[in-house]
Structure 1
Amino acid sequence: MNPSAAGWINKFGHLAKKEATYFPDFTSLYQELKQNGFVYGIHLDIPDFIPVEHKLTEDEIAKINLLTALYFTFKFEKGEVDFELFVNTVFQYYRSLEVAKISFLNKILGGTQTENQLEKLLDSRIYLGGNAFNRAFGNSITNSLLYVDVLIFRIYLNGHPSLMEHAQLLEYVTMNIAYQALNSKDAHEKDVKLMQLLASSLTYVNLNEAHFDGSYRDLLKHNFTDCEKDYFLDMACLTIWEDQQVSYSESDYILGLGNDLDKTEKEVQSAIENVFDFFQKNKERVSYLNDKNLASQFYDGMSKNVSKLILRNSKRLKKELTESKELVGLLSKSAVKELTSEEKKKVQNQLLDIFKSVPSLAIFMLPGGAVLLPIFIKLIPKLLPSAFDDNRVEEN
């Protein structure tokens, strides 16, 4: 499955239908979403039942996990899933929260089918905003509060009368709990990055108008579900994880929060251990913990974006390359010896001509785009003929 190509939601539906019992209940779904990082707002892995051909990027992982969470939540609340009904329900759900504002251009490009529109909508939910250049620097990354969408969807399915108010309350309480957790410890630079990431992920609360003072006790008097309370506790544990030990003040805070959430001391300790284990296992993969300079961030970001574009269009590129025997010969030669200046110029011009025929690779045509050519040449051996059509569903 390729979550960056059209038709991926339909492909997901066929895969999920075969794995209807993959998650027996909401608790098992929540635990796997924690292990994959989705609950913590850190997008690292997806469920095993979804096959992928290429290494997934952070935004693709987030899209798959969000749809997985929504799908199985729908199944638990409504029983057997009619996939078309599920897609229409999710689309109407986001429309009711006024986050389904798809641009006129996207409507033209994406068609009128609800699945196509939902693909565009989920794209808009994943990124915090900004352009491709900012994304390359890591300044516009994936939404860290996506699990709130799942919690709200669950109460939407049960006919909650004040959906937007509850969505705002969930985000507001989450941020106040995180701020209180931060105030219970000596903050480090990484803690501040985490709080900035959470704040920038707010959807239903206006950051410029909200006042987060760390108070949460009065807010917890509202009738929150056990699932929402689990999420509050995990987000608090996320905030205090960094030094991998709990000081007296942190322990006092987290146990007090657990008591307010009607959690036992054992449940609180388990939540702490889960988040510590997660970061111990994945600390090298969590992007906001990296201390790379801007040049490294830019190169890494562009490499990921360009690699994804190339591999996702490999079938087209392979066809174009096979029709340019001179170019293939020069690329083969470059693997064993240095090309002359004239040959390098010829390779560059012919590659740019090829990229003109693949709209998705328009980035190479931008001023300075030629500096990305070494990334393309490095990936040529990995081009696979099935990449362009990996969301095709085989009919029996």
Structure 2
Amino acid sequence: MNPSGPGWINKFGEVVSNKTGVYSDFSTLYASLKKNGFVYGINVEIPSFITIEHSPSEDEKAKINLLTALYFTYALERSDTSFDVFLETIFAFYKELNVSQISFLNKILTGSKTSAQLEKLIDSRVYLDDNVISRTFNSIITNSLLFIDVLTFRYYLRAGEQIREQAKKLEYLTINITYHALNAKEMNKTDEKLSLLFASSLSFIDEAEEKFDGSYREILLNNCSPWENQYFLDVASLTVWEDFSLDYKESEFIYGIGKDMGFPKDHIAKSLEDISSFFKKNERNISFLKETNMAVQFYDSMSKVVNKLIMRNSKRLQKELSESKELVFLISKGAVKELSADEKKKIQEQLMDVFKSVPSLAIFLLPGGAVLLPIFIKLIPALLPSSFDENRVTKKEKNTPEKGL
């Protein structure tokens, strides 16, 4: 499956139709989503029953985890596994939710409700910025508060009213709990990054207009369900544990807010143990914890974007490159010796012609896109012949119940 290409949701639907018993209740679903980092807003894994040919990027993991969370929440609440009915339900939910920050959301929610439309809708929720170039400059590329969508969807399925107000309440409480948890410790650079991660993900409230005076606790204690409180406890645990330590003041805050929400001490301790294990296991994979200099971070980020584009379009690229023998010769020559200015110019011109024929590579045609060419040339040998159009559902696949994505 290619979560960045068209058709991936149809492939997802094929697989989950045979996985209806993988989560027995919301508790097992929540535990899995927490293990994958989705609850924490830091996607490091995807469900084990979903297989992807290429290693997925953080945004692709976020998309898969969001759709997994929404679909299985629907299946558990409605005792219905129909993917087509789920599509209709999720469109109705997001239309009522009315995420005003997404400028093209209304266009997505009008007309036919297809899996292709849902792909656009999920993209609109996952990405903080829909500009590919600008994303490469910023390691914070995905919405860290996506689990609020899931909690609000569960509320919606239970006939909850005024769902936008419900989402605003959950977001307001999350950002307040994060703020007060950070104030319960000595701030450091990682704390600032974590704060930015949450603040940049807000969809329903304006952080500048909100109060952080502690009045949120009254709402927290009287207006939240057990699973909403569990999410708040896990977010608070994430906030105080990111430096792998827990001093008295931080401990007092966590156990205090946990007790206020009705959790026993051993339950609160389990939440802290879970985040501790998560950090110890995934420290190297959590992008906002990395302290690389801007030049290295920029190059690494660019390389990931270009590599993904190459992998996702390898067959088209192979076809185009096979018809440009001079280009391939010059690239091969450039790998062993310095090219002349004319040869470098010729490579750039011919590559631009190739990019024009592959719509997904339009990023290279944008202003400043030429800076990516050296990275592209370096990664060309990594082309894999089987990576193009991997989302196509064949008749054979449809008749094979346990076929992976």
TM class by shorter chain equals: over 0.9
In structure 2, the partner of 1:103 is 104
AA paired with 2:159? G
Cα distance in 1 for residues equivalent to 2:250 and 2:369: 49
Are the aligned partners of 1:91 and 1:114 in contact in 2 as well (CA < 8 Å)? no
Please report how far the alpha carbon of residue 148 of structure 1 lies from its aligned counterpart in structure 2 after TM superposition: 0.6
Please report how far the alpha carbon of residue 248 of structure 1 lies from its aligned counterpart in structure 2 after TM superposition: 1.4
Please report how far the alpha carbon of residue 269 of structure 1 lies from its aligned counterpart in structure 2 after TM superposition: 0.6
Please report how far the alpha carbon of residue 267 of structure 1 lies from its aligned counterpart in structure 2 after TM superposition: 0.7
Cα distance in 2 for residues equivalent to 1:359 and 1:382: 20
- The aligned length equals 395
In structure 1, the partner of 2:243 is 243
Cα distance in 1 for residues equivalent to 2:371 and 2:175: 42
Please report how far the alpha carbon of residue 221 of structure 1 lies from its aligned counterpart in structure 2 after TM superposition: 3.0
In structure 2, the partner of 1:49 is 49
In structure 2, the partner of 1:132 is 132
Using the TM superposition, name which of 247-256 and 214-223 deviates more.
214-223
In structure 1, the partner of 2:149 is 149
In structure 1, the partner of 2:81 is 81
Cα distance in 2 for residues equivalent to 1:111 and 1:93: 15
Give the superposed CA RMSD. 2.2
Using the TM superposition, name which of 63-72 and 252-261 deviates more.
252-261
Counterpart of 1:266 in 2: which secondary structure? helix
**1:219-368 alignment runs, 5 A limit:** 219-368=219-368
Counterpart of 1:388 in 2: which secondary structure? coil
Are the aligned partners of 1:137 and 1:301 in contact in 2 as well (CA < 8 Å)? yes
In structure 2, the partner of 1:198 is 198
TM-score by length of 1: 0.93
Please report how far the alpha carbon of residue 116 of structure 1 lies from its aligned counterpart in structure 2 after TM superposition: 1.8
Cα distance in 2 for residues equivalent to 1:106 and 1:309: 26
Using the TM superposition, name which of 340-349 and 299-308 deviates more.
340-349
Kindly provide the CA deviation profile for residues 1-26 of structure 1, in whole angstroms up to 9, marking residues without a partner as x. 11111111111100111222222221
CA 243–104 in structure 1, closer or farther in 2 if over 3 Å, else same: closer
Question: Mind listing any 5+ residue stretches in structure 1 that lack a counterpart?
Answer: none
CA 107–145 in structure 1, closer or farther in 2 if over 3 Å, else same: closer
Kindly provide the CA deviation profile for residues 298-326 of structure 1, in whole angstroms up to 9, marking residues without a partner as x. 22222222221221111111111112223
Please report how far the alpha carbon of residue 222 of structure 1 lies from its aligned counterpart in structure 2 after TM superposition: 2.4
CA 365–245 in structure 1, closer or farther in 2 if over 3 Å, else same: closer
Kindly provide the CA deviation profile for residues 224-249 of structure 1, in whole angstroms up to 9, marking residues without a partner as x. 22211110110110110133222111
Are the aligned partners of 1:106 and 1:120 in contact in 2 as well (CA < 8 Å)? no
Using the TM superposition, name which of 271-280 and 354-363 deviates more.
354-363
Cα distance in 2 for residues equivalent to 1:326 and 1:196: 48
Are the aligned partners of 2:97 and 2:164 in contact in 1 as well (CA < 8 Å)? yes
Kindly provide the CA deviation profile for residues 160-202 of structure 1, in whole angstroms up to 9, marking residues without a partner as x. 1232222111111112211221121112121122112212211
Cα distance in 2 for residues equivalent to 1:308 and 1:43: 17
CA 242–367 in structure 1, closer or farther in 2 if over 3 Å, else same: closer
Counterpart of 1:284 in 2: which secondary structure? helix
Using the TM superposition, name which of 25-34 and 64-73 deviates more.
25-34
Are the aligned partners of 2:3 and 2:64 in contact in 1 as well (CA < 8 Å)? yes
Using the TM superposition, name which of 349-358 and 213-222 deviates more.
213-222
Counterpart of 1:389 in 2: which secondary structure? coil
Kindly provide the CA deviation profile for residues 8-45 of structure 1, in whole angstroms up to 9, marking residues without a partner as x. 11111001112222222211111111111111111111
In structure 2, the partner of 1:14 is 14
CA 133–376 in structure 1, closer or farther in 2 if over 3 Å, else same: closer
Counterpart of 2:93 in 1: which secondary structure? helix
Are the aligned partners of 1:36 and 1:43 in contact in 2 as well (CA < 8 Å)? yes
Please report how far the alpha carbon of residue 348 of structure 1 lies from its aligned counterpart in structure 2 after TM superposition: 2.6
In structure 1, the partner of 2:369 is 369
CA 105–125 in structure 1, closer or farther in 2 if over 3 Å, else same: closer
Are the aligned partners of 2:140 and 2:197 in contact in 1 as well (CA < 8 Å)? no
Are the aligned partners of 1:179 and 1:214 in contact in 2 as well (CA < 8 Å)? no
In structure 2, the partner of 1:183 is 183
Cα distance in 2 for residues equivalent to 1:102 and 1:9: 23
Counterpart of 1:92 in 2: which secondary structure? helix
In structure 2, the partner of 1:160 is 160
Counterpart of 1:387 in 2: which secondary structure? coil
Cα distance in 2 for residues equivalent to 1:297 and 1:244: 24
Please report how far the alpha carbon of residue 87 of structure 1 lies from its aligned counterpart in structure 2 after TM superposition: 0.9
Question: Mind listing any 5+ residue stretches in structure 2 that lack a counterpart?
Answer: 400-405
In structure 1, the partner of 2:402 is none
Are the aligned partners of 1:129 and 1:140 in contact in 2 as well (CA < 8 Å)? no
Please report how far the alpha carbon of residue 296 of structure 1 lies from its aligned counterpart in structure 2 after TM superposition: 2.4
CA 200–369 in structure 1, closer or farther in 2 if over 3 Å, else same: closer
Cα distance in 1 for residues equivalent to 2:106 and 2:312: 22
Please report how far the alpha carbon of residue 268 of structure 1 lies from its aligned counterpart in structure 2 after TM superposition: 0.6
Cα distance in 1 for residues equivalent to 2:140 and 2:271: 29
AA paired with 2:390? D
Cα distance in 1 for residues equivalent to 2:307 and 2:213: 43
Are the aligned partners of 1:130 and 1:140 in contact in 2 as well (CA < 8 Å)? no
TM-score by length of 2: 0.91
Please report how far the alpha carbon of residue 57 of structure 1 lies from its aligned counterpart in structure 2 after TM superposition: 1.5
Please report how far the alpha carbon of residue 392 of structure 1 lies from its aligned counterpart in structure 2 after TM superposition: 0.8
Kindly provide the CA deviation profile for residues 96-139 of structure 1, in whole angstroms up to 9, marking residues without a partner as x. 0102866399759x984432221111111011236333211116
Q: Among the aligned pairs, what percent are the same residue?
A: 55
Are the aligned partners of 1:307 and 1:376 in contact in 2 as well (CA < 8 Å)? yes
Counterpart of 2:237 in 1: which secondary structure? helix
Please report how far the alpha carbon of residue 342 of structure 1 lies from its aligned counterpart in structure 2 after TM superposition: 3.9
Cα distance in 2 for residues equivalent to 1:122 and 1:6: 12
CA 210–302 in structure 1, closer or farther in 2 if over 3 Å, else same: same
AA paired with 1:135? R
